[in-house]
C-alpha cells in the first residue's frame, strides 16, 4: 500500500491567512510554533530541507547548564539553563535522561579549587531537585577512572542531561501540529514584504511551485541562514544585530570504555571536550569552535578538527584515539549572536531576539544564537515580545506540559516512569525483540502504541530493513513525522544509519521511492 506523505499544503492554499509565519524548522522555530499554536495563534512554519536538518541535529546532544559559561560571567544564562534541565526532563522523559560527568583535574590547567567553586555554583544556581549533586573522586580508586591515564588522580563527578536533539525538534513540531499549526517540510522561504496591512509571503514547494500566504507577524528562526532570510524580508531597515557563524564538529568512534558515565576534558586552549556514551556501542566526542564562512548547507568535520578531537581525548584516556577509529563525523554551524568577543569560544551562547516594529502592526522578529537547553524559554520570550501585536488566548503555558510521547505513567522520577513504561511495553510486545522495543520507547514514548497499532506479530509490521527498523515504523515516520527520504529516517528520526549497511540503506531508499506520494 502506498504511503501518503502528510502535508497541509491544500489547507494553506484554501486559507492562506495566518497570525504568525515562522521561517526555519530547527529547535527554535518548532519551539516557537508549539508555544504560539498553544496560545490560539494560527501558525505556519516552513523548513527548506528537513526538520532539524541543520544545527539542531548537529549538537553534543546535551541539556546542560554550561559549566564553562561561568568563566565568562554568563550567570543568567547558566541559571536559566540549569532551571530548564529538570523541566525538560519532566516534559520529555523518553528523550531526555540524566548523565553523570567525570571532570578530571589537570594540574597544568584550572586549579582544583576553581573547579570546585564552579561546580558548587552549578549545583545551587538552578533549583536542582532531582539530579544528583557534585562529589569528589579519587580516580585511581574509583572504577570511573579506570579508562583514564593514571596521571589523573583527582576528579569531580557532576550531573547534566542527554537529549535526542533531532527527535526533540520533531516532537515540538508534533506538539505544534496537535494544536493546529501547519508544518510545511521541504518548503523554501522566498520573500516577505509588508503590503496593504499584511505580510505577503512567498514560499516554494518541493515541486517548485510558488505559494503565497499572508500573516500578521513573521519570525525568522532560520539558524545559520538568519541574515539571508532577513535580507529576503523586504524592508528599508537593516538588521540591528548580526550572526557570528561558528562551526562545531563531532566524531563517533567504537565504545572507548565501560559504564554510563561521560567525561569532560579540559584543554590548553580553554575549551572543554566531551566524551559521551552513544547508541550503546559508540562514544561521541566533541566539539570544536571554528569560525565559518560559506554555505552552511555544505559543512563537514575537517581533518584538522578530527585530529584535534583525537589528540585532546588521547591526552586523557589510557588508550589513544586515532582518526582511523572514526566511524562517523558530523558538523553544524552555530548562528551565535555577535557580541564582539575576541574568539569563537568566548562568544555568548545566549539568545538574542531582534524585533523590527518599524510598522507598528507588522512585527518581524529575528532569532540569533540560543542553545537547545533554553529553546522553551526562548519561545516564551518571543511570545512576550510579540504579545502587543497579536491577540493570544492564554499566557505562558509550556512549562511542565508534556511533549508528545512524554505523558508516561506517573512515578517518583521521570527515569523510573520510563523504566516502568519500557517494562510494560516489553510485555505487551513480547513478539518483538526487547532492544527494539526499548529503542522505540526511547524515541516515541507512549506514541509507540500509535506506531505499532494493533499489530501482534512480526509479519504484521512488514518488511525488515535491518537493525530493528520495520516497514510499520517507516510508514509512521512518513505519515506522522514529515520524513521524506531515507536520510531523514536514518540520521535524524533515528541514528540507525550507524547500524545499517550501505546495501540496507539503499534498499530502504528504493522502497521509499517506490511507495511515497510526492
* Partners of residue 204 on adjacent β-strands: 188, 210
In 3D, which of 345, 366, 273, 268 has the Cα closest to residue 313? 273
Tens-place pLDDT, residues 139-160: 999 999 999 999 999 999 999 9
CA distance 226 to 367: 7
CATH topology of domain 97-161+244-337: D-Amino Acid Oxidase; Chain A, domain 2 (3.30.9)
Which segments in the chain show pLDDT lower than 50? Answer: 5-6, 518
At residue 14, the pLDDT reads 78
The torsion of the CA quartet 74, 79, 80, 83, rounded to 10 degrees, works out to: 160
The torsion of the CA quartet 112, 316, 60, 296, rounded to 10 degrees, works out to: 110
Q: Is the peptide bond before 287 cis (omega within 30 degrees of 0)?
A: yes
At residue 5, the pLDDT reads 47
Give the helix ranges, DSSP H, for 219-302. Answer: 226-231
Long-range CB contacts for residues 86-90, cutoff 8 Å, separation at least 24: 86/127, 86/128, 86/129, 86/130, 86/131, 87/376, 87/399, 87/400, 88/63, 88/161, 88/163, 88/373, 88/376, 89/63, 89/130, 89/161, 89/414, 90/400, 90/402, 90/414
CA distance 423 to 414: 14
CATH for the stretch 3-55+167-242+349-386: 3.50.50.60
Query: Nine-digit cell at 24?
Result: 526555519
In 3D, which of 445, 484, 448 has the Cα closest to residue 90? 445
Q: SS3 string of 14-35?
A: HCCEEEEEEECCCHHHHHHHHH
What CATH superfamily is the domain 414-517?
Alpha-glycerophosphate oxidase, cap domain (1.10.8.870)
Which residues, other chains included, contact 187 with Cβ-Cβ below 8 Å and sequence gap of 6+?
A: 46, 47, 48, 203, 204, 205, 206, 211
CA distance 143 to 351: 39
Which residues, other chains included, contact 347 with Cβ-Cβ below 8 Å and sequence gap of 6+?
A: 244, 246, 336, 337, 338, 339, 341
Q: SS3 string of 393-462?
A: CCCCCCCCCCCCCCCCCCCCCHHHHHHHHHHHHHHHCCCCCHHHHHHHHHHHHHHHHHHHCCCCCHHHHC
At residue 237, the pLDDT reads 57
* Domain segments of the chain as ranges: 3-55+167-242+349-386, 97-161+244-337, 414-517
Query: Nine-digit cell at 296?
Result: 552552511
Cell 565504545, residue located: 255
Query: β-strand 290-291 against 243-254: which pairing, if any?
Result: antiparallel
Q: What does each C-alpha distance from 401 to 172, 175, 255, 425, 501 come to in angstroms? A: 12, 10, 35, 23, 39
At residue 242, the pLDDT reads 84
In 3D, which of 38, 8, 15, 341 has the Cα closest to residue 187? 8
At residue 484, the pLDDT reads 95
Q: Give this prediction's pTM.
A: 0.95
Tens-place pLDDT, residues 199-256: 999 999 999 999 999 999 999 999 999 999 999 997 655 556 788 999 999 999 999 9
At residue 119, the pLDDT reads 93
At residue 240, the pLDDT reads 63
Query: Nine-digit cell at 244?
Result: 557570528
CA distance 389 to 380: 15
Asked whether the beta carbons of 346 and 291 are under 8 A apart, the reply is no
CA distance 416 to 510: 40
Tens-place pLDDT, residues 444-458: 999 999 999 999 999
CA 89 distance to own-chain centroid: 14
Letter string b/e over residues 175-198, b meaning 16 or more CB atoms within 10 A of that residue's CB: bbbebebbbbbbbbbeebebeeeb
Query: Nine-digit cell at 428?
Result: 505487551
Query: Nine-digit cell at 284?
Result: 561521541
Query: β-strand 43-47 against 182-185: which pairing, if any?
Result: parallel
Amino acid at each position: 500500500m502506498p504511503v501518503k506523505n502528510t502535508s497541509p499544503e491544500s489547507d494553506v492554499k484554501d486559507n492562506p491567512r495566518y497570525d504568525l509565519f515562522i521561517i526555519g524548522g530547527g529547535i527554535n522555530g518548532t519551539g516557537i510554533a508549539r508555544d504560539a499554536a498553544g496560545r490560539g495563534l494560527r501558525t505556519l512554519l516552513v523548513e527548506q530541507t528537513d526538520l532539524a536538518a541543520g544545527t539542531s541535529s548537529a549538537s553534543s546532544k546535551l541539556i546542560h547548564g554550561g559549566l564553562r559559561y561561568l568563566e565568562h560571567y554568563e550567570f543568567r544564562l547558566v541559571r536559566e539553563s540549569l532551571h530548564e534541565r529538570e523541566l525538560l526532563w519532566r516534559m520529555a522523559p523518553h528523550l531526555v535522561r540524566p548523565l553523570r560527568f567525570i571532570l578530571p583535574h589537570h594540574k597544568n590547567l584550572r586549579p582544583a579549587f576553581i573547579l570546585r567553586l564552579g561546580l558548587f555554583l552549578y549545583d545551587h544556581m538552578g533549583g536542582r531537585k532531582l539530579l544528583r549533586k557534585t562529589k569528589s573522586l579519587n580516580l585511581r580508586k574509583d572504577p570511573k577512572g579506570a579508562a583514564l591515564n593514571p596521571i589523573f588522580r583527582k576528579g569531580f563527578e557532576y550531573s547534566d542531561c542527554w537529549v535526542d536533539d533531532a527527535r526533540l525538534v520533531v516532537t515540538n513540531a508534533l506538539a505544534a501540529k496537535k494544536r493546529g499549526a501547519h508544518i510545511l517540510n521541504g518548503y523554501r522561504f522566498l520573500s516577505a514584504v509588508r503590503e496593504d496591512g499584511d505580510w505577503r509571503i512567498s514560499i516554494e514547494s518541493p515541486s517548485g511551485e510558488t505559494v503565497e500566504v499572508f500573516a500578521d507577524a513573521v519570525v525568522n528562526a532560520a539558524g545559520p541562514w538568519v541574515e539571508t532570510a532577513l535580507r529576503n524580508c523586504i524592508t528599508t531597515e537593516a538588521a540591528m544585530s548580526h550572526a557570528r557563524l561558528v562551526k562545531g564538529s563531532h566524531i563517533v568512534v567504537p565504545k572507548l570504555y565501560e559504564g554510563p558515565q561521560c567525561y569532560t576534558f579540559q584543554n590548553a586552549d580553554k575549551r572543554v571536550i566531551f566524551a559521551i556514551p552513544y547508541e550503546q556501542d559508540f562514544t561521541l566526542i566533541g566539539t570544536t569552535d571554528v569560525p565559518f564562512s560559506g554555505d552552511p548547507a555544505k559543512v563537514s568535520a575537517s581533518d584538522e578538527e578530527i585530529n584535534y578531537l583525537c589528540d585532546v581525548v588521547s591526552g586523557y584516556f589510557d588508550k589513544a584515539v586515532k582518526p582511523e577509529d572514526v566511524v562517523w563525523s558530523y558538523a553544524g554551524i552555530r548562528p551565535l549572536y555577535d557580541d564582539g568577543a575576541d574568539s569563537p569560544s568566548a562568544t555568548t551562547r545566549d539568545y538574542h531576539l531582534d524585533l523590527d516594529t518599524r510598522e507598528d502592526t507588522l512585527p518581524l522578529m529575528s532569532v540569533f544564537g540560543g542553545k537547545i537547553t533554553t529553546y522553551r524559554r526562548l519561545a516564551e520570550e518571543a511570545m512576550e515580545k510579540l504579545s502587543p501585536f497579536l491577540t493570544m488566548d492564554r499566557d505562558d503555558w509550556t512549562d511542565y506540559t508534556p511533549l508528545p510521547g512524554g505523558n508516561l505513567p506517573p512515578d517518583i522520577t521521570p527515569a523510573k516512569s520510563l523504566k516502568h513504561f519500557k517494562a510494560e511495553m516489553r510485555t505487551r510486545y513480547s513478539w518483538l525483540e526487547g532492544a527494539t522495543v526499548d529503542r522505540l520507547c526511547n524515541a516515541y514514548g507512549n506514541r509507540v502504541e500509535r506506531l505499532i497499532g494493533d499489530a501482534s506479530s512480526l509479519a504484521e509490521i512488514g518488511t525488515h530493513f535491518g537493525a530493528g527498523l520495520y516497514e510499520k515504523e517507516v510508514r509512521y515516520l512518513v505519515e506522522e513525522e514529515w520524513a521524506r527520504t531515507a536520510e531523514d529516517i536514518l540520521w535524524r528520526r533515528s541514528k540507525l544509519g550507524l547500524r545499517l549497511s550501505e546495501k540496507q540503506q539503499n534498499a530502504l531508499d528504493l522502497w521509499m521511492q517506490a511507495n511515497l506520494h510526492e
